[in-house]
């Protein structure tokens, strides 16, 4: 049987665990035409939740579009990708061309047919006439109005997901937020989920002085309950004919820091190792053997990361690991781990957050990658 644990991609429905409340709420809000802001740290399964909500909305008759904003290196590139995704709702090339002519004629798009990843034909859209800032502003108005026009033309609800939405702040300052907010607030048949994995940036975008202030409900994704995740893991092992020892699921969740990506990764690798050994029983020794293998495979990467840090940053990272991220500025912690002044420690922690090595969970600093956390604990001094 295939490995039942999936990581590094949007997980299929069979590997999706918990989140029933969040999924029902997100799906219902999308179908109601709400503009939802989904805020989640990295590796919490945000993108998988959004995809499941879009699938649920589609089953209830809605059209769906999913675009990752951070995939684009320019504002015009994003507008082209967004327009292409919206036109992809219409699978007939001739009909999609007609939509372009009727809905984006003023933007003078350049259209060509090219194969997609699966080899099927699709429309590629570009806007070569958008040269000046004023041209791009007019183009954005046209593209951002497109979801409402499509929903009206098809007489169906439309659910749009703009993932990694915080990246939109890099496009032309705050003008993008103003233009998008002005368009979406009139589109009652279109539900939007603006999701982001940089909570600090997303929270600022929702501040009192920003265009999206009080634009819609906010969902802040939390970790999956540990016992629920542990039960899921053991059930998936058993479903493929393996016999996990009691407590295996809880041990995987703990070692992986209860981060959905890391939990699925560690479970996936344990399953592979046991399968390769021709065994059915899965023990805690198997788990630690797999963990040791993974740390060895990542040795060069982690060593390079460690060497790029300053001495103060290394000390702060190691202290965060050994202190479980708590009370890192206290005099006792600084003395115990040979840290310097509180201001230097604070600056080092801020740098580690910027480098995406640490993240904040309330008062705690948590290592983003659980494997790096284990490597630091075992291989640094």
CATH number of the domain enclosing 293: 1.10.8
- Shared domain for 69 and 100, answered yes or no, is yes
Domain boundary among 171, 189, 220: 220
CATH code for position 177: 3.40.50.300
Domain boundary among 220, 251, 270: 220
- Shared domain for 46 and 184, answered yes or no, is yes
User: Given this model, what pLDDT does residue 113 score?
Assistant: 74
- Shared domain for 42 and 187, answered yes or no, is yes
Q: What is the number of residues in the chain?
A: 381
Q: Could you tell me if residue 316 is inside a domain?
A: yes
**Cβ neighbours, 10 Å, residue 21:** 8
For residue 361, list its beta bridge partners.
Answer: 364
Q: Could you tell me if residue 323 is inside a domain?
A: yes
Q: Could you tell me if residue 303 is inside a domain?
A: no
CATH code for position 356: 1.10.10.10
- Shared domain for 275 and 333, answered yes or no, is no
- Shared domain for 112 and 126, answered yes or no, is yes
3-state secondary structure the chain: CCCCCCCCCCCCHHHCCCCHHHHHHHHHHHHCCCEEEEECCCCCCHHHHHHHHHHHHHHCCCEEEEEEHHHCCCHHHHHHHHHHHHHCCCCCHHHHHHHHHHHCHHHCCEEEEEECCCCCEEEEEECCCCCCHHHHHHHHHHHHHHHHHHHHHHCCCEEEEEECHHHHHHCCCCHHHHHHHHHHCCCCCEEEEEEECCHHHHHHHCCCCCCCCCCCCEEECCCCCHHHHHHHHHHHHHHCCCEECCCHHHHHHHHCCCCHHHHHHHHHHHHHHHHHCCCCEECHHHHHHHHHHHHHHCHHHHHHHHHHCCHHHHHHHHHHHHCCCCCCCCHHHHHHCCCCCHHHHHHHHHHHHHCCCEEEECCEEEECCHHHHHHHHHHCC
- Shared domain for 292 and 369, answered yes or no, is no
- Shared domain for 172 and 38, answered yes or no, is yes
Structural domains counted in the chain: 3
Rg over CA atoms, the chain: 24
Q: Could you tell me if residue 13 is inside a domain?
A: no
Domain boundary among 246, 269, 297: 297
Q: Could you tell me if residue 14 is inside a domain?
A: no
- Shared domain for 274 and 320, answered yes or no, is no
Residues 248/233, Cβ–Cβ less than 8 Å: yes
- Shared domain for 243 and 98, answered yes or no, is no
- Shared domain for 66 and 206, answered yes or no, is yes
Low-confidence ranges of the chain (pLDDT < 70): 91, 93-94, 105, 107, 115-119, 121, 173-174
Range of the domain at 249: 226-297
User: Given this model, what pLDDT does residue 99 score?
Assistant: 72
- Shared domain for 23 and 138, answered yes or no, is yes
User: Given this model, what pLDDT does residue 89 score?
Assistant: 84
Q: Could you tell me if residue 3 is inside a domain?
A: no
User: Given this model, what pLDDT does residue 173 score?
Assistant: 65
Q: Could you tell me if residue 304 is inside a domain?
A: no
Q: Could you tell me if residue 250 is inside a domain?
A: yes
- Shared domain for 252 and 353, answered yes or no, is no
């Amino acid at each position: 049987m295939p490995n039942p644990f999936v990581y590094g991609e949007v997980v299929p429905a069979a590997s999706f665990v918990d989140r029933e409340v969040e999924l029902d709420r997100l799906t219902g809000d999308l179908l109601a035409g709400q503009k939802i802001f989904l805020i989640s740290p990295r590796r919490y399964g945000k993108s998988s939740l959004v995809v499941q909500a879009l699938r649920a909305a589609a089953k209830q008759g809605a059209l769906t579009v999913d675009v990752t904003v951070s995939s684009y290196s320019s504002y015009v590139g994003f507008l082209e990708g967004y327009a292409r995704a919206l036109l992809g709702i219409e699978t007939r090339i001739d009909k999609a061309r007609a939509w372009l002519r009727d809905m984006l004629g003023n933007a003078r798009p350049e259209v060509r047919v090219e194969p997609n990843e699966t080899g099927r034909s699709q429309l590629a859209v570009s806007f070569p006439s958008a040269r000046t800032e004023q041209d791009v502003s007019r183009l954005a108005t046209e593209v951002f109005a497109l979801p409402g026009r499509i929903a009206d033309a098809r007489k169906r609800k439309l659910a749009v997901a703009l993932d990694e939405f915080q990246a939109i702040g890099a496009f032309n300052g705050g003008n993008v937020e103003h233009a998008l907010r002005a368009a979406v607030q009139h589109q009652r048949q279109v539900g939007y989920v603006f999701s982001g994995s940089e909570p600090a940036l997303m929270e600022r975008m929702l501040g009192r002085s920003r265009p999206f202030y009080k634009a819609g409900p906010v969902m802040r994704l939390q970790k999956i309950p540990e016992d629920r995740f542990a039960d899921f893991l053991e059930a998936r092992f058993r479903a493929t004919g393996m016999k996990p020892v009691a407590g295996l699921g809880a041990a995987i969740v703990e070692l992986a820091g209860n981060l959905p990506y890391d939990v699925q990764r560690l479970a996936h690798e344990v399953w592979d190792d046991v399968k390769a050994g021709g065994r059915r029983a899965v023990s805690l020794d198997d788990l630690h053997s797999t963990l040791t293998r993974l740390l060895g495979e990542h040795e060069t990467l982690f060593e390079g990361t460690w060497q790029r840090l300053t001495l103060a940053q290394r000390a702060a990272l190691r202290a965060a690991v050994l202190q479980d991220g708590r009370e890192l500025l206290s005099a006792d912690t600084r003395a115990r781990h040979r840290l310097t002044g509180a201001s230097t420690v604070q600056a080092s922690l801020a740098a580690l957050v910027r480098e995406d090595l640490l993240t904040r969970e309330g008062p705690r600093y948590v290592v983003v990658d659980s494997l790096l956390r284990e490597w630091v604990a075992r291989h640094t001094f």
